[in-house]
Structure formats: structure tokens, C-alpha cells
Structure 1
Amino acid sequence: MALHRNVKQPSHLEQPARITSVYQKLQESGVLDRCLQLDARIATREELLWLHTADYVDELSATSEKKQSILTALERQYDSVFLCPETYQAALLSAGSSLQVVESILSGESRSGFAVIRPPGHHAESDEAFGFCYFNNTALAAKYAIENHQLERILIVDWDIHHGNGIQKMFEEDPRVLYISLHRLDIFPFNPENCDCNMVGTGPGVGFNVNIAWPSKGMGDSEYLAAFRRIIMPIANQYNPQLVLVAAGFDAALGDPLGGCKVSPEGYGQMCHMLTSLAEGRVAVLLEGGYNLKSVSDSMLMCANALLGDPLPTTLIGALQPGAAVTIQRVANYLLPYWTSLVVDVNSEEKNTKHKR
């Protein structure tokens, strides 16, 4: 996975050092010695075809045998994608490793797990590479749990600062997957009509798609933890998932060059800790974005600590950024018809707010 690179721009934000720095941090902290380390594997063609089209898989497979000059020209047909001869193999390993973690958890070998993988996947659509993503790792992990373990309730929490358009599209009609995304509305993939709070799923999947769409930059621990308390945990507890998957982009972290937000490693640890109360602790944290090497490494370490049950540092909670409370209330209003658990929680929060004033 470290061989996948932008040949024209070696210092590109989605670079091999993203996973090597995370791995080094986990190793130096002693976390890896406390975990069962799984061998990476490639995703099979059959597994990819659960969600991706045959033509697209064949198209990407063919890139492994093309010269770099041809691949550079081919990049132009995609949006925010780079290709090299190793890209296809890296994408297979990234997807397959996600499935490997899920299998270890659902077979009872592990209680929970995390995958230090790239390229990321949540933007990838069934027939198109998009936004640094080739195969939709997290979506395939959910589909693997459905196909191989007959799970009926899978929660995906996507806290990448960018909306996971690929995951949403793949499951927007499927109540077996509850997809919750926290993201900025005003940045890539620039589709506010598809990722705002009013997009709650369609057909049998209505109510099972939750978009907590921040209107602007600047959100931090206070805003994210408020969203967890007010929206995510009440819905998740009512849904009672059998497995939790985290599309763990760390580009909302303080210092990230793209996100413009300020979630701390401790904040990510607290969010991960809350999710471990679900599904008997069966949680898989799968790396997505995050482009500040220090913040992505520190944040993944804190999530690993949370999965291991270690004591976590507390976070400083202050007043919400302008727009955050409005966003949370909008989400609650759209989801109230589908999740009765929000009724008590919303009313309680309103009373607390009035009391504080």
C-alpha cells in the first residue's frame, strides 16, 4: 500500500507516509505488541463485484500493466485521482485488509480492530474512482458482514471531514446499513444537494441515512461530541447494531491542511470510546483521510487506546461554534419521524440549554 503514489507530485497529501507514520506511532507506543496483527490480503474479484461493476474492476485492473505516461493521461478522466502501476494492487490490499479485520471480529478471534490502510475508499462509487479513492473499503466491509455473516444491522460512522458520497449511494435504500456522516457541507465533493441534513435515505432505507453537515470550518471537540450525544448515540442505541464500522478520516483534526477543523486526538478517542458501548464492542476503525502526519498518527493511536479499553484523557468542552447547534437541531428535526430516541434527547438538551442561559 505504500507503493501507491503520485509520481508527478511525490509530496502529494495522500502519500505513503500517511500509513508508515501511523504504523511507527503504534509501534513506538507499544500498542502493536498488545494486538493480534493480521496479515493483509487482497480483495477477491467476487468481493469487489458485490458493490463495483465488472467493467470498472477490469478498467482499474488494466492499469497495473500500463506505462506511467499512459496512466498520467488516464488520470484526467477521473476527479482528484492519481495512478501508478502499483495503484491497483494497493487498492486490492486496502479493501481486502478491511474485510480481514471484519472477519477477525465476527469470527470471534478479536473483539475489535483497526486497519492502517490506503488508498482510502469512501468516495469511490460503483463504477468510478473519485477523490483519492478506488474501491470503497468501508462499504465493502459492511457488505462482507452481510454476505458472509448474515448481519442485518450494521452501523457506519463516517467522521471524515468530506462526505462519503460512495457509501451513501451504495446503501441509501438498504436498512441493513445505518450510515451516519459528519462532514463539512462547503467543501469537496461539492454536492450540497446530496449530503445535507435532509438526505435521509430512500425507499426501504429512509431514515437510515444521517448527514450531520457542518456549514463551515472551525468545528472541534465540543461540536463533534455534541453531535454524538444529541444524534449519533441515541439513534445508534435504538438501532442496536451488530457491528460498528468507522470510516475514520482524521482530516477534521487540528492542523489538517484540508479540513479547517480542530478535533483533538483526545476527541477522536472519546468518540471511539462511545462507539465501543455498541454491538458488544465489535468496532472496526478503518483509516480513510487525514493529511497531517502528526495528527493522523496521534488520533489513530488514541482510537486504538479506546478499543483496548485504556483510560483516555478528557477533552475541553466549550460553547458550540456558530451554526453547529443549528445543524444538530436540523438533523434532529429531519430524523424525528424515524427515530423515537431523539424525542427525549432533544427536549432534554433544550431544557439544559435554557437552564444554562
Structure 2
Amino acid sequence: MTTLVLSHPKCLDHLTPFGHPERPDRLRMVTHVLEHERFADLARDEAPLASIEAVARVHPPEFIERIENATPMVNFVHLDADTTLSPGSYEAALRAAGGAVFAVDEVMAGKAANAFVATRPPGHHAETATAMGFCLFNNAAIAARHARAVHGVDRVAIIDFDVHHGNGTQEIFWSDPSVMYLSTHEMPLYPGTGAARERGAYDQVVNAPLPPGAGSREFREAFDLAILPRMRDFNADLVIISAGFDAHERDPLANLNLTEADFSWATKEIMAIADRSAGGRLVSVLEGGYDLEGLGRSVAAHVLALMRG
């Protein structure tokens, strides 16, 4: 078994207005980086369309219909100041969710050691019935609910190292003791959630906010003291990473100073816990990362770690 990478060219058809940071070039960069010969051993497949049933385990059918019906025939529709729909957005969002679902299927069946879902739009800001923060459907949450419903997984840990707090994932699982959500993120920063006191209805939400300007030392300390011990104690049967790389020092949307070495280290630490509790079963889904060079270097480091390189 090896690491599986899932993507789809239709994810390039989710267009955003000129100058928008969440742009198709992000996925082109990821694709380019993973074409290097050091990634020759990756298994690769195309992200299928998610079924409405799978998406509806997280988002109400009327919300899904609202996104579909709002998708324009031409140009853009603005859902809020940050989040837009273009003619290709609805299919791209279903591919992003479908890639996460299929990754769970392959990992749970033992066909892949782990998986990286290289799709867009991202998902962790999408709440139960609200698209926001560049996100339409919450891909990580859909994957977790699929694992529970279809594969009978008892406990899922979702760990999120995107520089922005995953308010959507936290909201979706706030009262669900079967899913632990753990996040490092810059604070204060969009969307304004993620204080350490936000702990979920069952103390299964773990937030470790970092101040502007924090770097490797603070990030690794937050992991060592706040994130990893709680993740170990939770003893998850499946681990999902919301893999945002906008905490990189080059990123224009935030003020943390991580490097690709930090993402590699975090990935290996998470994998060690997944090995112990979940037989190594791990699915990583792409979230943010808006400087193309920083994104490419970080994805390469992350995927090499998944390959146990």
C-alpha cells in the first residue's frame, strides 16, 4: 500500500474574481509539485462526485439545493464578501467532497495506507447551513460522517492546522462526542472563533490559538502540550487532517511564520498517533495556502511525510 492522491480537473473550474486568493493556480501548483519524480510511487485517482446523501449527512438538503440553484450560468454570484460561485463551482464542490469520501473508502478498505485529497474549494469554514470563508461544503466533516455511517467508525479525530480556525467543523461537531476537533490557528484572525475556552458540549473540541508572529517554537509547543496529548487520549479509529498551509511564513493572509519543516513534523506526529490507535488510517484534505511557492513547498513536505519519506 502507498499514499493515494485524489484530485480532478473540474476543481479548476471553480473560478473566483481577479485578485481573489483562493484561485485555480493553487491547485495547479499542487499538481505540478506532485509530478516530481520523488512522488512516482504515489497512487493516483480522480475525485468522484459526492452523492447528495453523503453531503446531506452534514448539510441540510435545502442548503445543498440553495448552492446548486445559486450557481450562475455565467460570471459570478457572491454569497458573501469572500465566497463566490461561478458556473463550475457546484461540480467542483461535489468533487472536493467526493474526493474526501472516496479517500475514506480506500483507506478503510486497506487499499491505501493513507490519502491526500488535492481539491478545491476548501471546506472547513462551511457551517451546517452557511457557506463562508471561500468554502461551500465542509469536506472534512462530510468525510467523518461518511466514515461513521458507512464504515461503522466509532471515533474520528479531525486535526486542523490551517492558519484560520475551522469554525464550520467546530460548529458541526460541537455536540457530537464521536468526533474530536483539534485546531491550531492564529488569533485574532478571521473568522474570530477558536478561543481556548471553546471546548464543545463534551469537552471534545481542542483549540490552541497562536498569537500573530508566532513561529515554529510556539506551533510545536501547542502541538506537544495541547493537541497531541488530547488526540492520543481520544484513541480515534480514523484521523482526518484539515491541511491548510497558510500558516507558512510566505502567506499573505496571516501572520504566522511556519516553514515546510513544521508541516512535515506535524504530519509525522499525527501519523504516529494514527498508527497507534487507527492502524495508520488517515485522510488529509487540502484547505488553505495562498502563496503559491509556500503552498507548493508545504504540500511536498506534507505528502512526503505521508509517504513515510
TM-score by length of 1: 0.80
- Cα deviations by residue, 1:72-104 (Å, 9 ceiling, x for unpaired): 3xx1x4241111111111111011111111111
Which amino acid counterpart does residue 199 of structure 1 have in structure 2?
A: E
Contact persistence 2:124–2:140 (CA under 8 A): yes
Identify the residue that residue 162 of structure 1 maps to in structure 2.
164
Indicate which of 236, 244, 248 corresponds to 1:241: 236
Q: Which of the numbers 190, 206, 212 marks the counterpart of 2:208?
A: 212
Please, which runs of 5 or more residues in structure 2 have no aligned partner?
1-10
1:21, 1:159 → 2: CA distance?
Answer: 20
Structure 2 partner of 1:323: none
How far apart, in 2, do the equivalents of 1:87 and 1:112 lie?
27
1:57 lines up with 2:56 in the alignment: no
Note the 1:15-164 alignment, pairs <5 A. Answer: 15-31=23-39, 33-64=40-71, 66-68=73-75, 71-72=76-77, 75=78, 77-164=79-166
- Partners of 1:162 and 1:189 within 8 A in 2: yes
What RMSD in Å do the two structures reach over aligned CA positions? 1.3
Amino acid at match of 2:67: L
Q: What's 2:21 paired with?
A: 13
Partner amino acid, structure 1, of 2:181: Y
Give the alignment partner of residue 182 of structure 1, picking from 174, 184, 189. Answer: 184
Structure 1: 4+ residue segments shifted above 3 A: 63-67
Residues 278-357 of structure 1 mapped to structure 2, 5 A cutoff: 278=274, 279-310=278-309
Deviation of 1:300 after TM superposition, in Å, equals 1.1
Unaligned stretches of 5+ residues in structure 1: 311-357
Deviation for aligned residue 1:67: 3.6
Q: How far apart are 1:169 and its partner, in Å?
A: 0.6
Deviations 1:34-56 (A, max 9, x none): 11112210111111111111111
Distance 1:46 1:40 in 2: 17
How far did 1:248 drift? 0.6
The 3-state SS of whatever aligns with 1:276 is helix
The 2-side partners of 1:110 and 1:198 are apart by: 37
More helix by share: 1
Once residues 50 and 296 of structure 1 are traced to their aligned partners in structure 2, the CA distance between those partners, rounded to angstroms, is 31
Q: 2:163 touches 2:244 (CA, 8 Å); kept in 1? A: yes
Q: Distance in 1 between matches of 2:280 and 2:110?
A: 12
The CA distance in 1 between the partners of 2:186 and 2:216, in whole Å, is 15
Post-superposition offset of 1:264: 0.8
When residues 67 and 39 of structure 1 are mapped into structure 2, their CA distance, relative to the original with a 3 A threshold, is closer
Equivalent-residue separation in structure 1 for 2:89 and 2:220 (angstroms): 36
Structure number with higher strand proportion? 2
CA distance in 2, matches of 1:271, 1:51: 27
CA distance in structure 1 between the partners assigned to 2:234 and 2:188 by the alignment? 29
Residue in 1 aligned with 2:198? 199
Deviation at 1:239, TM superposition (A): 1.2
C-alpha distance in 2 between matches for 1:284 and 1:46: 20
1:260 equivalenced with 2:255 (yes/no): yes
Number of aligned residue pairs: 295
CA distance in 2, matches of 1:296, 1:106: 28
Larger-gyration structure (1/2):
1
Aligned partners of 2:52 and 2:92: how far apart in 1? 14
Q: Distance in 2 between matches of 1:155 and 1:219?
A: 25
Q: Retained in 1: the 8 A contact 2:125–2:169? A: yes
The one-letter amino acid of 1:213's match is P
| Conserved? CA contact 1:114–1:304, under 8 Å | yes
Q: Is the 8 Å Cα contact of residues 63 and 85 (structure 1) preserved in structure 2?
A: no
Any idea what the Cα deviations from partners look like across 1:256-300, whole Å, max 9, x if unmatched? 001211111011001000111122221211100010111111111
1:19–1:67 Cα change, 3 Å: closer
Deviation at 1:223, TM superposition (A): 1.2
